[in-house]
Amino acid sequence: MKFPSKIFNSHPKTDGDFFWGIKKILGFKPKDIAIYKKAFLHRSMNKRDSDGNPLNYERLEFLGDAMLGTIISKHLYKEVPEGDEGYLTKMRSKVVSRKHLNELGKDLNLLRYVESRIPKSHFGENIHGNVFEALVGAIYLDRGYLYCEKFINARVIKPYVDIEQLEGKVISYKSLVIEWCQKQKKTFHYDVYEDTGNDELKHFAVKLTIGERMTAKARATSKKKAEEKASKRAYFALQNKIENR
């Protein structure tokens, strides 16, 4: 379904600035600028199309995620002919990790185009990567696969995808620690509990025990972040043993 430009408020100068800004980011002219506007429309705007369907970037984000994964997979398949399925999957995960997508969104300063009723200072970190994926989805709908591939090659693969560097990039210290414990037949346990203290935001603390020894502890604003932080500390405490396994 195409979304006619008239569903958005028409502001010729603003629309022109948006068009040329998007063209500069893409490296080619967009055909249907309304699709790209949708890629920057936050759900807090509560906009709908003529059929009553919500208009925001979330469905484009879903599509962009799939396109990004497909194009990165194709690149790795061609560049690393000796890589098995497990290797290729791990390498793709490093390229499309949430942290990396957030960095891409920040590098392109995509947040400046987001329409929202929520102050941008209140957004979480992941909106940068979400909007980047939505932009990829918009490119696919507007110009098709080849232009989508052209954009990802220029903005992701050429500047950031170095096979040797990716091989050494850790995306999850928790996975590394757990894998090492399992291979060494060591028991491990993450003891997580609330530890708000005097902070306004809720915090969680975690103690990581390996075998009979408390190996590392950390605190963060989510259980997942606290576990990863403790795992990273444990990894460096045990680095020689883990890397020589």
Residues marked as catalytic: 65, 133
Angstrom distance (rounded) from CA 206 to CA 190:
6
Angstrom distance (rounded) from CA 152 to CA 60:
16
Burial string for 187-210 (b: 16+ CB within 10 Å, else e) reads ebebebeeeeeeeeeebbbbbbbb
Tell me the β-bridge partners of 204.
Answer: 194, 220
Angstrom distance (rounded) from CA 56 to CA 72:
25
Q: Give just the sign of the alpha carbon dihedral 120, 122, 126, 127.
A: negative
Provide the 10 A C-beta neighbour count for residue 156: 21
- The number of residues in the chain equals 245
User: DSSP assignment of 95-107, as one string?
Assistant: HT-HHHHHHHHHH
